Amino acid sequence: MISKYEFQFSIFFHSITKLAMTAAAVLTFSQFVVQLFGQTVPNFFWPYLKEIGFAFIIIGAFVFAVSWFLKARPHNKPKKYAVDCFNVFGNKDKIEGLRTNFKNHDVAWSFMKQYKKSYPLYNFALVSELKQNEKQVIFKYI
């Protein structure tokens, strides 16, 4: 006949065996998952992901280059510039003896600076007519 202690020991041993088998199954499965997602899947997809990343970089560089070329294209510059005079009240005025029409932006700007030194109570605006605008466009104002 089995004693009470032997019966308890067999139950205890049986429950420890179940726990050990469960722990071994969990560790084996976790090792399988780590191997699968840590090495197998990345090694399988890595060459494709590198190519996709390279393609994104090339597309980004191409988009940047196209946008830069579109922004850097030559703009339509006006062919005539004029210098307008404004009195202290902000009304457009005409000073006799001043050259007001120019073909070059730099020359008009230079004359405008000289006029400001000669006539400090007046303000001057460098204006031109652009094709898409009906009104004159002020480029510089001093």
pLDDT tens by residue, 53-104: 899 999 999 999 999 888 877 677 788 889 999 988 888 888 888 898 999 8
**Amino acid of residue 123:** N
- pLDDT attached to residue 133: 67
**How many Å apart are CA 124 and CA 110, to the nearest integer?**
12
b/e map 108-118, b = 16+ CB within 10 Å: bbebbeebeee
User: Which residue's entry shows tokens 């088998």?
Assistant: 21
Q: What is the mean pLDDT of residues 103-112?
A: 90
